[in-house]
Structure 1
Amino acid sequence: MKTNLYRLIMVILCVAGIFFTGQSVQAQELTVSIPPEATITGQYFTLGDIARFNGDDNERIDRLRQIRLGHTPQPGQSYVLAGDILMARMRAARVDLSGITWQLPPQLKVTALAQSISGQELVKQAKQYLEACLTGEVMITSVGQPRDILVPPGEIAFTMALPYGIRYNAPTNVSIGVQVAGRSFSTAMLRFDVKKYQQVAIASRVLNANEPITAESIIFERRDIGRLTPGYFTKLDKILGLPVKRQLAPGIVITETMLGQIVLIRRGQPVTITAKNGGIEVMVSGIALQDGSKGEFIRVKNSNSKKVIRGQVIDDTTVRANI
């Protein structure tokens, strides 16, 4: 009796073992679950970016993961896809979707990940760039405050340029390009008021017409050069000895248009007249009939032929004639 009972128990256990073993080796079905909201990055997103997969067929899951579902919205922005649109896009990928249990929301909200670059940071980067381009005493002030910008996640780099150069009498534009992970993302244009200060030559007293500039008649003062008429001087040796064309009041900034040239040759002065004819240079004596500064054309008379010609003042004794 006991032996028969033992045999019955063993048969039952064997049958149960076969049943449960068969259940454990049965292939698990593939389930794809998509949540109602997802955050993504990159240029586009795939099923693998938003879904959870439950199943043993890794090869098939890998193919499903690569199904492209759409372009990523701008950083920090979102859009909504209906569930039927999702399925339509997956079917369009021509991947086998049979035998899959889908857990889909009525709609999917897709939001692009983002990081913020503040307007203050843009101003800081552009200002540092300007400071590296400038020398001397300068003051740089931002004109307005740029808006913060949102960019994708990744390492940020900036590229700068001055499309119109540096201006001291008008706003200076700085073009700042934003790169994320080595790719160009956006460009902003920032404006700055750039002031540069230099020591410039100023009349220290009344200067009369034709009076030559001396070290005592000039002082140097700090001025905003953006407010000055072009042609100012920052070095005394550039103007020392030059005559003023008209009377100048004390405190006036000296410019090129106010000054004449030093007279090198005086009327009645003996000069050497030079001329080239082909490869031969001829030199004869002459008399200056006009005062002349370097580079000016004056009338001179050939001492031998008495002929009057025009020539260019080369130095304090030489006039070059064109023949």
Structure 2
Amino acid sequence: MKYLLSLFLILTLPLIVYGATESSTATPGQLISQQEMKQILDDYLMEQSMLLPQVDLHFKSMNLPDAYRVPTGRITHQVIPAKPGMIGSRRVTLMTRVNGQIISNQSIRIELEAIAEVAVPTRSIRRGEILDADSFELRFQDITKLKDPIFADDDIIGKQLKRSVRLGEPLQTNQVEFPPVIKRGERVVIQVQSMGLMLSAAGEAKQDGSTGEAIRVMNTNSHKEILCQVVAPGLVKVEL
């Protein structure tokens, strides 16, 4: 009887131990830790910084989700900012794929700082004023809330202000434009090119226009309005 009992224990004990060990250590797939998520976001921000060499980009904070597990396979990650180019984004989406299939979408709240040298008025400037080198200075500022700041002198000198700005308010691209080459009511020469011939007529501009823009012009003789392209001060053309 004792012999049979010992034999029973010998045969069954390894099975019990093996089963318990396998169930307690089984962790299928791969864990995406917070440290790995942070590294993915840091790498993405570095790539964006290379596209904007004049801007110093860095995270002030990021609210990372808990670690998550994905199946075993070829893992790839994609970062999608709330706004193109990252600047101004308050959230990013971290998309994880395994073997090309989307497994996880993590929405991550971030706080970003973008420092760059941008054009700032040295005084309050009224709408319509032509800007020169004394009208502004380049100053380092956080541009995360600016849509399209101006980084270089060449992008502003000689342009006209489309709306008034206050002292210290960063200038943006949509606030300036080249002054019109032709102004409404101005007498112009209309050139018409047809079949290799160049004809001209007198006209009156019905709109302001910069070089290359299309404006309405009234032919002084026929009193008909036609669409012309601004070529130079006092000169427009129509191609037939």
Confirm or deny that 1:132 pairs with 2:50.
no
Q: CA deviation at 1:131?
A: 1.7
TM-score by length of 1: 0.53
| Maintained 8 Å contact 1:126/1:176 | no
CA RMSD of aligned residues (A): 3.8
TM-score by length of 2: 0.68
Structure 2 residue ranges without an equivalent (≥5): 1-10
Q: CA deviation at 1:270?
A: 5.9
Counterpart of 1:261 in structure 2 is: 178
Task: List per-residue Cα deviations over 1:31-85 (Å, max 9, x = no partner).
Answer: 7852343444xxxxxxxxxxxxxxxxxxxxxxxxxxxxxxxxxxxxx4xxxxxxx
Partners in 1 of 2:100 and 2:190 — Cα distance?
A: 69
* 1:119 aligned residue (17, 34, 37): 34
3-state SS, counterpart of residue 299 of structure 1: strand
Q: How does 1:171-182 map to 2 (within 5 A)?
A: 171-177=90-96
* 1:283 aligned residue (199, 206, 212): 199
Shift of the 132–258 alpha-carbon distance from structure 1 to 2, 3 Å rule, reads: closer
Shift of the 292–159 alpha-carbon distance from structure 1 to 2, 3 Å rule, reads: same
The residue type paired with residue 227 of structure 1 is K
Q: CA deviation at 1:240?
A: 1.7
Q: CA deviation at 1:137?
A: 0.5
* 1:206 aligned residue (124, 127, 141): 124
| Maintained 8 Å contact 2:188/2:236 | yes
Alignment length (residue pairs): 217
Shift of the 262–219 alpha-carbon distance from structure 1 to 2, 3 Å rule, reads: same
Q: CA deviation at 1:211?
A: 1.7
Quick check: 169-178 or 125-134, which moved more? 169-178
3-state SS, counterpart of residue 197 of structure 1: strand
The residue type paired with residue 26 of structure 2 is A
The residue type paired with residue 286 of structure 1 is A
Task: List per-residue Cα deviations over 1:141-166 (Å, max 9, x = no partner).
Answer: 443232234578x8x97522133554
Counterpart of 2:6 in structure 1 is: none
Q: CA deviation at 1:268?
A: 7.5
Shift of the 316–166 alpha-carbon distance from structure 1 to 2, 3 Å rule, reads: same
Shift of the 237–148 alpha-carbon distance from structure 1 to 2, 3 Å rule, reads: same
Q: Relative contact order, CA 8 A, sep 6+: which one is greater? A: 2
Partners in 2 of 1:276 and 1:183 — Cα distance?
A: 57
Shift of the 272–238 alpha-carbon distance from structure 1 to 2, 3 Å rule, reads: same
Counterpart of 1:47 in structure 2 is: none
| Maintained 8 Å contact 2:45/2:57 | no
3-state SS, counterpart of residue 118 of structure 2: strand
Q: CA deviation at 1:138?
A: 0.3
- Identity, in percent, stands at 18
Structure of greater Rg:
1
Partners in 1 of 2:42 and 2:74 — Cα distance?
A: 15
Structure 1 residue ranges without an equivalent (≥5): 1-30, 41-77, 79-109
| Maintained 8 Å contact 2:149/2:173 | yes
